[in-house]
Amino acid sequence: MINSSPSFDRAHFTRVCWSIYALLMASYLLVFFHRMAPAVVSADLMRSFGATGAALGSLAATYFYLYTVMQIPAGILADTVGTRLAVTLGNMVSGAGSILFGLASTLQEASIGRALVGLGVSVVFVGLMKSNSVWFRERDYGFISGLTVLLGNIGAILAAGPLAGLLTIWSWRTVFIALGVIALALAALSWFGVRNSPEEAGFPSLRQQEGKARHAGREQHWWHDLIGVLATGRAWPGFWVNLGMPGGLLAFLGLWAIPFLRDAHGLERSAASLYTSIGLAGFACGALFYGWFSDRLHRRGPPLIVGTVVYGVAWLGIGYSHWEPGLLGLAWFGLLGFGAGAFVLTFAAAKEVMAPALAGMAIALVNTGAFLGAAILQPAVGWIIDLAWSGAMANGVRVYGSADYRTAFFLMLGGALLALVASCFIHETRCRNITLSD
């Protein structure tokens, strides 16, 4: 058995495994930061570019448009050229885009910069999840996926309260230029520090370490593999879950939560950002909990269904119950994020109905749903509240009414219902790859 070979150093393997994970996670922190930051700088962007609600929604959603379109190509890249090259190039493009965004003098220039950021970061998550599938054991994949989302949300949390505080010292432009420089540094670190597989780093594969035959590689052109993934009906329920649940959460916390709290509840930006931070913390903790619990339960479907129900109930509380700023509001936001954290199980479920060599494409397929949902919902919410806008302005920023937001939030409830129905169709894998005989 290979795992008994004296040449195999388990401790060295563990160090390399976690160092690669750490490098990729650093890039993923920036992904989440860019995803959530527009909510905090929304007033600055409206003021700098004279943007309406719909225009602001479109600017923020530009990230999601490119991110959505790039998910399938990101999966192809992860399965063909590998995580190392994909993430290196992604960091270079997102770094350039962030710098352009910070220097933009017009809404069009800002949109181009935001689009480049979305294009660059689009390959990071799929590459990271693909890397996790070859560097970590299959029976731990749910937990590792949850840990990944939890740590990634640190970037989102930094884009809430800490960013609001930072904006009292630096301008929003300085922040995004600095983020661009950090991304370019991570590009260099990824190239020199990341390896696509244990074998590429001089180790036996995980299965070989357990005395089993290694997984079969891809045997045909990636186009035929992609067609096979898209034709696999068992992979699609996760797409619809993600479109309805994390798609709605990202659209809300990533842009409209702070304007809603400002207009409907009279909160200043720094106070409102605490609510988004709690929502993101709940999302992170939920992802870790559901991933861990699913691995221990050896089931994917039931925990996911529970999460979608919790998410829907939280939306009813936030949008349609009478609450005042304080503990109850924070609890609703935390519950919203915690329920949505169950989305992490869609990646495991998709990976486990596909051949291991196609894990990147399978993960990319379901991940597309989340960002398509956000790309649709961010401008849609802005369009709805613009229709009912009374003309009120404050410090050069449009002010909307509570009723305007409640009308728009029907879209979020529809997404929660879609996620619940789709979660009932998740194919139960019992936490193992059903394409393998052992």
Q: What are the tens digits of pLDDT across the range 230-264?
A: 888 898 999 999 999 999 998 898 789 988 999 99
Q: What are the tens digits of pLDDT across the range 368-386?
A: 899 889 888 988 998 898 8
Stronger pLDDT, 39 or 294, i.e. the higher one: 294
- How many percent of the chain have pLDDT more than 90? 41
Stronger pLDDT, 146 or 93, i.e. the higher one: 93
Whether 186 maps to a domain, the answer reads yes
Domain count, the chain: 1
Q: For the ranges 59-68, 121-130, 346-355, which has the lowest average pLDDT?
A: 59-68
Whether 414 maps to a domain, the answer reads yes
For position 155, what pLDDT does the model report? 77
Whether 57 maps to a domain, the answer reads yes
Whether 297 maps to a domain, the answer reads yes
* CATH number for the domain harbouring residue 318: 1.20.1250.20
For position 214, what pLDDT does the model report? 63
Query: Residue 209 — very low, low, confident or very high, per pLDDT cuts 50/70/90?
Result: confident
Whether 203 maps to a domain, the answer reads no
Question: Could you write out the three-class secondary structure of the chain?
Answer: CHHHCCCCCHHHHHHHHHHHHHHHHHHHHHHHHHHHHHHHHHHHHHHHHCCCHHHHHHHHHHHHHHHHHHHHHHHHHHHHCCHHHHHHHHHHHHHHHHHHHHHCCCHHHHHHHHHHHHHHHCCHHHHHHHHHHHHCCHHHHHHHHHHHHHHHHHHHHHCCHHHHHHCCCCCHHHHHHHHHHHHHHHHHHHHHHCCCCCHHHCCCCHHHHCCCCCCCCCCCCHHHHHHHHHCCHHHHHHHHHHHHCHHHHHHHHHHHHHHHHHHHHCCCHHHHHHHHHHHHHHHHHHHHHHHHHHHHHCCCHHHHHHHHHHHHHHHHHHHHCCCCCCHHHHHHHHHHHHHHHHHHHHHHHHHCCCCHHHHHHHHHHHHHHHHHHHHHHHHHHHHHHHHCCCCCEECCEECCCHHHHHHHCHHHHHHHHHHHHHHCCCCCCCCCCCCCCC
Whether 438 maps to a domain, the answer reads no
Whether 191 maps to a domain, the answer reads yes
pTM as predicted? 0.75
Q: For the ranges 30-39, 87-96, 179-188, 295-304, which has the lowest average pLDDT?
A: 30-39
Stronger pLDDT, 11 or 329, i.e. the higher one: 329
For position 54, what pLDDT does the model report? 75
Query: Residue 197 — very low, low, confident or very high, per pLDDT cuts 50/70/90?
Result: confident
Stronger pLDDT, 6 or 72, i.e. the higher one: 72
Whether 37 maps to a domain, the answer reads yes
- The boundaries of the domain holding residue 364 are 15-196+223-423
